[in-house]
Amino acid sequence: METIMDRSIDLGELIPQPDDDVIVCRCEEVTKGEIRQAVHDGMRTLNEVRRYLRTGMGLCQGQTCGKLVQSIVARELGIRPRDLEMNTARSPVRPTEMGVYGNEVIEQEAEYEA
């Protein structure tokens, strides 16, 4: 586990692969090559890759791409996928209009006016 966080370890030069243009995270349109580049740029955990590229932050919340991203990152780091700590799960947050919170009051006022 120490080798993952040791950022002084040189992973070597990123060697392009023929399938680097394959989209791995469809929601955010992130390719395999972008994930590999992120690891070589210093992202050593799945959470860091997620924050850097937004993988797993789309509509599927990583249900489609999570395992693929994990295996790509592990392969670049030269470790087993199960040695990577999984992403921190968070509920999606969506903006709510203030009118939704005040809707009950508006309905009550409409009753009084009628």
Give the domain ranges of the chain: 2-90
CA torsion through residues 93, 94, 98, 104, sign: negative
User: What's the DSSP call for residue 15?
Assistant: P
Per-residue pLDDT tens over the stretch 38-88? 999 999 999 999 999 999 888 888 889 999 999 999 999 989 998 888 777
pLDDT of residue 22: 96
CATH superfamily of this structure's domain 2-90: BFD-like [2Fe-2S]-binding domain (1.10.10.1100)
pTM over 0.85: no
pLDDT of residue 58: 87
User: What's the DSSP call for residue 110?
Assistant: H
Helix (H) or strand (E) holding 38: helix 32-40
Inform me whether the pLDDT recorded for 89 exceeds 80: no
Inform me whether the pLDDT recorded for 16 exceeds 90: yes
pLDDT of residue 3: 46
